[in-house]
Amino acid sequence: MANGWTPERRARQAMLIQQWRPWEKSTGPISADGKAVASRNAWKGGFRPLMRDLTKELREQDRVRREILE
């Protein structure tokens, strides 16, 4: 394989991961600070949405202005 993962290496790695069971060790945030940080992971706010809304409003105003001038 071009990426260096032969079938034997892949099988060995799968066996090791089954032994390590890393999914049992992941707990997610525990502290209040950690939970606060994690709660913002999906936040899509900030400057960009404001600019998008402003652009939408300006386009609408321009459309209305053109209708009036016709």
Which pLDDT value is given to residue 26?
A: 84
DSSP 8-class letter at 41: T
Which pLDDT value is given to residue 44?
A: 78
Which pLDDT value is given to residue 45?
A: 79
Which pLDDT value is given to residue 48?
A: 86
70 residues of the chain, pLDDT tens digit each: 478 899 999 999 999 999 999 999 988 999 999 999 999 998 877 888 899 999 999 999 999 999 999 8
Decide: pTM greater than 0.85: no
DSSP 8-class letter at 31: S
Distance, CA of 37 to CA of 66 (rounded, Å): 47
